[in-house]
A and B are shown apart, each in its own frame.
Chain A
């Protein structure tokens, strides 16, 4: 059972370009969460998605950031017109979700975005 898969592991973008980060959840998991981690800081919640639905995007910046989790394929975190302050590690986590007792969330390896 492969874990949460994120790609790319490292991404370099120039200011003003777009960044696309991908996340494939663990098999059997239908809930995906995106977190951002600035250097030497904690994990900040960005968005929580189920298939084809955004459940909670309270942590997403209002502009330039968007996320989706289509019926088929991975979840995508998209950052338009990147700025240096977007440089961070972006982690995706997945869980079975819902009200079941098994609510553990497992993280992917992360995508380290560097904006130059």
Chain B
């Protein structure tokens, strides 16, 4: 079945450093790749997404890159801040549902 692998499972960085989370997917027909941020005890919130017709998208300190040939996509957070600490999930759209990665727990130390 469809599968999304996400690495690393945990990531600790110093405030101001960059953080990169990578995901690999198996379904070559996928055309939509969102990223969600989930703070402790709260709902997942969409932070950025990318569609298969572009290779990169930026929104302030957050960027996502997509390599369709290699079937992987990455989340890049620059100038990290303590409030970026959360669990981040990548996802791919399979037909009309989202399949999620296993999550990355990001800790940003002040």
- Chain A residues with a Cβ under 8 A of chain B: 31, 33, 35, 41-45, 48, 55-56, 91, 93, 97-98, 101, 103-110
Contacts and interface: CB of A to CB of B under 8 A. Distances in A.
24 contacts: A31-B96, A41-B102, A41-B103, A42-B100, A42-B102, A42-B103, A43-B44, A43-B100, A44-B100, A45-B97, A45-B98, A45-B100, A48-B97, A55-B96, A56-B96, A56-B97, A93-B98, A101-B51, A104-B34, A105-B34, A107-B43, A108-B43, A109-B43, A110-B43
Contacts of B42: 109
Contacts of B43: 91, 107-110
B55 to A, nearest CB: 17
B9 to A, nearest CB: 10
| Chain B interface bracket (under 10, 10 to 19, 20 to 34, 35 or more) | 20 to 34
B100 A33 contact: no
Interface of B: 32, 34, 36, 42-46, 49, 51, 89, 93, 95-103
Contacts of A56: 95-97
Q: Which 3 A-B pairs have the closest CB atoms?
A: A107-B43, A43-B100, A42-B102
B44 A91 contact: yes
Contact of A42 (B49, B95, B97, B101): B101
